[in-house]
Amino acid sequence: MSRPHITICWIVGIILFVLSPQTAQAGLKICNESGSSRSVAIAYKDGGDWRSEGWWNIKDKDCKTVHSGDLKQRYYYYRAEHKGREVRRGDYTFCTTSKVFDIAGAENCKSRGYDQSSFGVIDTGKSAKNFTFTLTIAAPKAKDEAKAPKREASKPKAPKPKTLKRKAAVPMTPAPRFDNNPFSAGSLGEPFTVVGVFQGCENIDGWDHCAYHAEGVRHGAGYGDGTPDEILNALQNVPVGTRMLVRGDMKSFGDITAEVAIRQLEPVQQEPLDAVIEAMQGNWVSDQDGSWYFEIYGAERRNYSGGSLLANEYIRWASGCDRNSEDGKSTYIIITNPEDNEYSDCYYVVSVGRNHLTLSYVGGTGQDLEFTRQ
């Protein structure tokens, strides 16, 4: 049986998941420090197949063992609900039902009469026999381990000229300023200077870091990797979606991700683009097809269809679909799948308001795509 569908997904959650070892009793224990009751389901690899089980009702300030005996896997998966609603969107999908369940397999959930639900990941470490996982308020995300489904590449055509209906720029908290030189340019890698869109700070499998998107690439700067702690600590309070100027050294570079050491950080002059980025943050449902919706978080888009997560994609804001066609006035979003980097969809931003978004797909029929904020 193949792994369940997994994508990168950077989450807008209200729950902090604190992991700590448990030595009193073997197994996986989940404690609830969220301030209200939670219904919890888990999933894990059972031999050569996947298995999902639920539900455990855990009151605030209470704990329950959800898997007994010595742990045989490093990764376990969980879903937490409050009054039937998911309290944190996860990166993995497994089968569930609204009643007590024990389901073998993680594929074809709907055709088998089950719900397909998102789960987060619990990393118990390489050799833990018992583990305690605590639900509290605010936080880090987990690392994905499989690829999202691919879509066919499309070649953008020149869009019809339109006028973007922009609202006045909304005041945003600017990025902090650090203009000292804690290390010499080029001493830790290739020096660079970019303007990026801040993506937030998180902990992925023990890598505690802050990230931003610049020129279609996700840059991550980790604690203990050359970036001064004072810069990373200051970034913890910067709103996601804030544009900022970054100077540093490129330590390593992949197709669409990079590890960097930040040397200097500066705010940038506020522009109408900042208001567009801020206004587009959130969940949007297609007016033409109610089964299609997406969430924009920082410079990433989580794309869904029929309740299934299709892909976690990267966004680059530009004034054209390629550098040769940029006019310096219009606003476009270029969408790239970081799992394969094989296609880039381009949309012209016709208008964006408090509750409505209009896009025009470049290379499509020319019909505007209308979305309503969820």
Q: 333-362: per-residue pLDDT in tens? A: 999 887 666 667 889 999 999 899 999 988
Mean local confidence (pLDDT), 10-39: 62
pLDDT score for 54: 94
Please choose, from the candidates 81, 85, 79, 74, the residue with its C-alpha nearest in 3D space to the C-alpha of residue 120.
Answer: 79
For CATH 2.40.50.140, the residue range(s) in the chain are 190-267
Domain 273-373 has CATH 3.40.50.2300: no
Distance CA 151, CA 333 (A): 17
Of the pLDDT bands very low, low, confident and very high (cuts 50, 70, 90), residue 284 is: very high
pTM for the structure as a whole: 0.54
Digit-coded pLDDT (tens) for 93-125: 899 999 999 999 998 999 999 999 988 888 888
Please choose, from the candidates 237, 209, 214, 246, the residue with its C-alpha nearest in 3D space to the C-alpha of residue 225.
Answer: 209
Average pLDDT, the chain: 80
pLDDT score for 255: 73
**228 pLDDT more than 60:** yes
Neighbours of 332 (CB within 10 A): 24
Residue 168 burial by Cβ neighbours in a 10 Å radius (0-12, 13-18, 19+): exposed
Q: Which CATH number fits domain 190-267: 2.40.50.140, 3.40.1670.10, 3.30.60.50, 3.40.190.290?
A: 2.40.50.140
Q: What is the CA radius of gyration of the chain?
A: 22
Digit-coded pLDDT (tens) for 48-91: 889 999 999 999 889 999 999 999 888 999 998 877 777 766 67
pLDDT score for 7: 39
Distance CA 36, CA 350 (A): 42
Distance CA 338, CA 74 (A): 25
For CATH 2.40.128.280, the residue range(s) in the chain are 273-373
